[in-house]
Amino acid sequence: MGQALPHPRSGAAWAGRRIGLLGGSFNPAHDGHRHISLFALRVLRLDQVWWLVSPQNPLKPAAGMAALATRLAGARTVARHPRIVVSDLEARLGTRYTVDTLGQLAGRYARTRFVWLIGADNLSQMPRWRHWRRLFERMPVAAFNRPPYSLQALTGPAARRYARRRVGAAQAGRLADLPPPAWVFLNSPEHPASATAIRQRQRRQHEVEP
């Protein structure tokens, strides 16, 4: 049997599960995404990590963005793990902003314990996100070290606003059980892959091809 995929009307199937949500363009997906997902599965004691492949990130230009079907296929090739689920839920839900996606999931999967997974780069720029405070108040958040953004993230508006709701890394395994707002910052092992570097390398390869 194939891997069961989440659907807007399949919330009951994940009742009681602990699920990490890793959203992004995945343009393209790479081993860094897989690396952080495996780390999250272990440290946060998750049952699965869902890669929410965005139809179009509002903070990123559409130019240079591969088709959704292409990015989904690439993500499935990279994930190669039974507990990493590649999903087009945002397209199915018709949501554009993360705050709306998380709100829909929290309502449709009311008995699932979600943790929103983000990198330090996103934590540092959180005020640019639509209704960013609601994001923290909707579900627990796990932020991961990503040099050189980590210091800026830990002194930024989101970290300061919710400083009293931050839990220590030693308590990360119980984050999914805590009522929001609750968040943790984790010093995950670094991985060299980045989507930007991959796209730049691909462009250089195309330029030298006959």
Closest by Cα among 148, 175, 159, 152 to 40: 175
pLDDT, tens only, 92-135: 999 989 999 999 999 999 999 999 999 999 999 999 999 999 99
CATH code for the part of the protein at 12-208: 3.40.50.620
Domain chopping of the chain, boundaries: 12-208
- C-beta of residue 154 within 8 angstroms of C-beta of residue 143: no
What pLDDT, on a 0 to 100 scale, did the predictor assign at position 40? 98
* pTM, 2 dp: 0.89
Q: Please give the pLDDT value at position 208.
A: 45
Mean of the per-residue pLDDT values for the chain?
A: 89
pLDDT tens per residue across span 28-60:
999 999 999 999 999 999 999 999 999 987 767
Query: For the chain, how long is the longest CA-to-CA vector?
Result: 58
Is residue 67 over pLDDT 80?
yes
- Non-local (6+) Cβ contacts of 162 within 8 A are 136, 181, 183
Q: Is the pLDDT of residue 199 over 50?
A: no
Hey, what long-range contacts does 12-15 have (CB within 8 A, 24 or more apart)? 12/111, 14/109, 14/111, 14/112, 15/109, 15/111, 15/112
